[in-house]
Amino acid sequence: MTQPIPARRFSADDPVRVFLLDDHEVVRRGLRDLLDSEPDITVVGEAASAAHALARGPALRPHVGVLDVRLPDGDGISVCRELRSRMPDLACLMLTSFDDDDALLDAIMAGASGYVLKQIKGSDLVSAVRTVASGQSMLDPATTARLMSSLRGGEPEPEPAGEALAGLSPREREILALIGEGLTNRQIGKQLYLSEKTVKNHISRLLAKLGVERRIQAAVLASQASFPRQSGAHQPH
């Protein structure tokens, strides 16, 4: 069992470093004013597009990214996934105008620590930034379970899922289990001593075997299956 990581504490001398991504200047300015007014939080940079965020974000070494979900050149969820593959300790807080179950589930699978609506009160957003910065998640497991259930459409299909899972190799089953835990390709590769390209190839094959197109659908199957992880499968080959 891994030991729980103690919550990180921040102060005026060692503030939470926040990076903002939103295509509306007025929103970014409002967020910056709100967060910079807190003694233990500082905004270290901002971006108006996905490309700008990916180019600037890593160099600024933020603790928290507050990322708009909908962007003119992409989406904040993809930015979250890419930034976290480069900075695994980054906590991403997704910000959106829409209460969208699919987007929330995508955010969970991308490794986001929280998901808030833009209608949130300023004090609650500040609390959310502190919560995810300390290493805690704002994603309630019950909400995640409800979303997984709604994605299945309330129609359990245990036999086809079981048959499909039975057709996976031990390595593919282990990768599927790690997808279900929300790990990125890079994190899966590190854990299993595989290159990122090899992991991508395995995932392409297992998606085809499962008869699904999206990684999230595979994660749902993984959550249904709860198959045992292979002992010794983490050894390099």
pLDDT tens-place values along the chain, 237 residues long: 444 445 667 877 889 999 999 999 999 999 999 999 999 999 999 999 999 999 999 999 999 999 998 888 988 888 999 999 899 889 999 888 776 666 777 777 778 888 888 888 899 899 999 989 988 877 655 556 666 566 555 444 444 456 667 888 889 989 988 887 777 888 899 999 999 889 989 988 888 888 877 777 777 777 666 554 444 444 444
Task: State the alpha helices, DSSP H only, in the chain.
Answer: 25-36, 50-60, 76-86, 101-109, 122-133, 141-151, 158-166, 170-180, 185-192, 196-210, 215-225
Q: Domains in the chain, start-ordered, CATH in brackets?
A: 16-139 (3.40.50.2300), 161-224 (1.10.10.10)
68 CB contacts (<8 Å, ≥6 apart)? Answer: 21, 22, 23, 24, 27, 76, 95, 96
Tokens of 181: 């835990």
pLDDT reported for residue 1: 41
Q: How far, in Å, CA of 13 to CA of 22, rounded? A: 27
Tokens of 97: 């105008």
**SS3 assignment, position 71:** strand
